[in-house]
Amino acid sequence: MATPPASDEQTDGPDDGSETAVPAAGPFNALTDDLNDLRIQHQHCWLWPQISLEIDRLDDVLKDGRHLLEPLATDCPDWAIKACTGIARSNPAIHQHVERYDSYAQAARSLWTTFIPATSPTLTDAQIYAIMAMHEARIAAEAYCEIAAGIEQEMVQAGVGHDDEDEIVELRGDIAGWERWHWHYAAQQVGTAERFLLMASFAATAPDSSVIKQAEAQIATLERKARAARAEMVPYRQGRKRGAVNRLTRALMAVVKEAGSSEYAAVIAYLDGAYDDEFEGIIFRDIVNDRLEYSDLSKNRETSIAIDTLKRKLQQLPDV
């Protein structure tokens, strides 16, 4: 997963399942895989309550898709498993080459990596669309979980707890560009998943083929735009540079060096005689109501950090 960049690295650009489920290995298999592994891995994250409804929405896509795959789900024949995982592997190629074929279903059949049998038993068009919808839903869920994991990693590194509301607001401000891009990308994937599911429903009820072709043309256009946007956003998905830390952390590292210790008592004792001195663009002011107040000169802003958070942050720093 990509790691969000520190504040000084952020650019202005678009910078029903068992609790014992295990993470899916290999390509997504619409016949057997679900989102439970993502829940288990990320439900401890601070952001989880905010993304859990989106994960439930995506789970609905998987459940609806499975209704169309029920004839295959009972025995899970080997050819069907290969077809499902092949579609997942070939997803980018299917999107890229759909204009060469009459439809997404035909594009999927024409790509050898999908292993879709040319004769019966094989997948119907509706089943192909359902498999693609479920895979797109998995991609969207992973994107939402990437946001949660990235913020959680930043919080751990900064020593910020789940109850430190002000510090979380500050931290998210520093990585706003990174987070905004991922929210946008995840929302795009949700839309793609739900459109494929709608196409699966259309194909299953055999409507006028022009309706499906119109929907396919819309998806292909949106996917081209999304690919172009993803290409432009590559520089903003590179993550934190190795060893990089944010401005407050650098300031505290400077204080620890001067104090000769990362112990809280030693740091505060040193700051008692160094308030109003500048450390890496930060000026520490005073302790008021269990918060260390400071000025961030680069942002021309007065802010503070809770003492409990400061203690956790100091524990993350190497002693001298």
Tell me the domain boundaries of the chain.
7-237, 247-316
Task: Give CA–CA dist 41/292, Å, rounded.
Answer: 34
Task: Give CA–CA dist 60/57, Å, rounded.
Answer: 5
SS3 call for 17: coil
Q: Can you give the pLDDT at residue 203?
A: 86
Q: Can you give the pLDDT at residue 162?
A: 92
Q: Can you give the pLDDT at residue 220?
A: 67
Q: Can you give the pLDDT at residue 25?
A: 54
Give me the sheet containing 291-296, strands edge to edge: 278-279, 282-288, 291-296, 301-306
Q: Can you give the pLDDT at residue 33?
A: 94
Q: Can you give the pLDDT at residue 8?
A: 34
**Beta-ladder partners of 150:** none
Tally of CB atoms within 10 A around 124: 14
DSSP 236-298: GGS-SPTT---HHHHHHHHHHHHHT---HHHHHHHHTTTTT-EETTEEEEEEETTEEEEEETT
- Joined tokens for residue 285: 């002011």
**Beta-ladder partners of 291:** 288, 306
Task: Give CA–CA dist 233/275, Å, rounded.
Answer: 41
Show the low-confidence residues of the chain (pLDDT under 70).
1-25, 112-114, 206-245, 320
What tens digit of pLDDT does each residue of 142-161 get?
Answer: 999 999 999 998 888 888 88
